[in-house]
Amino acid sequence: MQCNLLIRGGTVIDAAAGQNQIMDVAITGDRIVAVGESLEYHADQVIDASGLIVSPGLIDLHVHVYQHHIPISLNADELSIAGGVTTQLDAGSAGSYNFDGFRRDYIDRANTEVLGLVNLACTGLVAANLGELLDPRHSDPAGVVATIERHADVAVGVKIRAGAHIIGSGQQGWDHFLAAVAAARDSNTWLMIHIGECPMTLPEMMPHLQPGDCITHCFKGGSTTLLDENQHVFKEIKKAADDGIIFDVGHGFGSFHWDVVTACLDQDLLPNTISTDLHLKNVHGPVYDMPTTMSKFLMLGLSLTQVFEMSTLAPAKALGREAEIGTLKVGSRADIALFEMKTGEFTFTDSYQQVRSGSQRLQAVGTIQSGTLAPGWTQYKL
Ligand SMILES: [Zn+2]
């Protein structure tokens, strides 16, 4: 049999298929056509993946890639190749006033897949440093719904940054939070809430959420955390997790604290999805990329299978796209990543300048987007 691309002899980790074994993957066009041991295919191009991990392309559920318009944004295609990421969810860089431009200038032009959440603030994060919802006139729930209707294929949900210095305190904070919830319901999508130093407590927020809504920056430190004053996970948080609220890492510049994440893991509150919140202020550290963020969870004791599931299948499900991405099953889109597992002593830093060391570090060495191998593979082989 003939195929375009054959990835030979890598360790295939595909949570959707329950696979973690040495196999081949055959690709024709933009589809995976076969997965199995010692496939008998003739291929236009063969990748020798022996010694490497072969996984579905990673899905980063929290990035900022509205470059040149949002000051902190990065380039989606560069993040893709650097991190083995084939789908990125931009978390509210654009709002109702500028999502049309985001789509035209970036989503539609990127080689990698970019999806977006629409910010409750009409201007998105253009002037995020000023607090995009401190002026209540910037809240535009009706515009969010209309934007999602207009761009239903790529605008998949609603975003609010719920820190008091962003949405205001007291009743104004509540009004914005509830407007964001209503926009998610009215658009039949879901809400991602950036938790900061919030004007309400997390237990107060939870009853307003539905399965599929998402708390990002879930392991942040500071005054608003998943932990009560005794360092126990709030019972309302445990119930929310059981009910299907998604807890997303969103590592970020100031949102990942070793003490919080270890306390949560010790109490069986695991993240559903691993994401980076990559932007200009954390790409040179402490976040760097998805593989580094995944490696931190390996250091914390999660298994390779768990970490890959949280970075492929779980975010695919959060997006409702698990039939197409986040898996290597035959017929799915040929979005694939290759990784080398480096061993040695590596230092990992949280968002609060605290350093820990681990013995494993994942590094992306190849990215295949819709069946096309991104530049860099030849260089690696040299
Ligand atoms: Zn963010």
| pLDDT score at 376 | 74
| All domains of the chain in start order, with CATH | 2-55+330-341+361-381 (2.30.40.10), 58-318 (3.20.20.140)
Q: What angle do CA 63, 65, 67 make, to 5 degrees?
A: 150
pLDDT digits (tens, 9 = 90+) for 55-85: 999 999 999 999 999 999 999 999 999 999 9
333 Cα to the center of ligand 1, angstroms:
27
9 C-beta neighbours (distance < 10 Å), count: 19
| pLDDT score at 207 | 98
| pLDDT score at 377 | 73
Of 1, 2, 24, give the one whose Cα is nearest residue 336.
24
**Residue-by-residue pLDDT tens, the chain, 382 positions:** 999 999 999 999 999 999 999 999 999 999 999 999 999 999 999 999 999 999 999 999 999 999 999 999 999 999 999 999 999 999 999 999 999 999 999 999 999 999 999 999 999 999 999 999 999 999 999 999 999 999 999 999 999 999 999 999 999 999 999 999 999 999 999 999 999 999 999 999 999 999 999 999 999 999 999 999 999 999 999 999 999 999 999 999 999 999 999 999 999 999 999 999 999 999 999 999 999 999 999 999 999 999 999 999 999 999 999 999 999 999 999 999 999 999 999 999 999 999 999 999 999 999 999 999 998 776 565 4
345 Cα to the center of ligand 1, angstroms:
30
CA distance linking residue 2 with residue 27, whole number of Å? 9
3-class SS string, the chain: CEEEEEEEEEEEEEHHHCEEEEEEEEEECCEEEEEECCCCCEEEEEEECCCCEEEECEEEEEECCCCCCCCCCCCHHHHHHHHCEEEEEEEEEEECCCHHHHHHHHHCCCCCEEEEEEECECCCCCCHHHCCCCCHHHECHHHHHHHHHHCCCCEEEEEEECCHHHHCCHHHHHHHHHHHHHHHHHCCCCEEEECCCCCCCHHHHHHHCCECEEEECCECCCCCCCECCCCCECHHHHHHHHHCCEEECCCCCCCECHHHHHHHHHCCCCCCECCCCECCCCCCCCCCCHHHHHHHHHHCCCCHHHHHHCCCHHHHHHCCCCCCCCCCCCCCECCEEEEEEEEEEEEEECCCCCEEEEEEEEEEEEEEECCEECCCHHHHHC
Contact 304, 294 (CB under 8 A): no
Strand 31-36 relative to strand 19-28, pairing: antiparallel
176 Cα to the center of ligand 1, angstroms:
18
CA distance linking residue 157 with residue 1, whole number of Å? 42
64 Cα to the center of ligand 1, angstroms:
6
205 Cα to the center of ligand 1, angstroms:
19
| pLDDT score at 382 | 47
| pLDDT score at 375 | 82
12 Cα to the center of ligand 1, angstroms:
31
62 Cα to the center of ligand 1, angstroms:
6
195 Cα to the center of ligand 1, angstroms:
10
CA distance linking residue 326 with residue 308, whole number of Å? 10
Q: What angle do CA 84, 90, 91 make, to 5 degrees?
A: 125
pLDDT digits (tens, 9 = 90+) for 82-119: 999 999 999 999 999 999 999 999 999 999 999 999 99
29 Cα to the center of ligand 1, angstroms:
34
CA distance linking residue 137 with residue 124, whole number of Å? 13
Half-sphere exposure of 323 (CA within 13 A, CB side): 1
4 Cα to the center of ligand 1, angstroms:
38
Look at the block and give the residue holding tokens 């130093």: 197
359 Cα to the center of ligand 1, angstroms:
29
194 Cα to the center of ligand 1, angstroms:
7
336 Cα to the center of ligand 1, angstroms:
25
| pLDDT score at 380 | 62
369 strand-pairing partners: 372
63 Cα to the center of ligand 1, angstroms:
6
30 Cα to the center of ligand 1, angstroms:
30
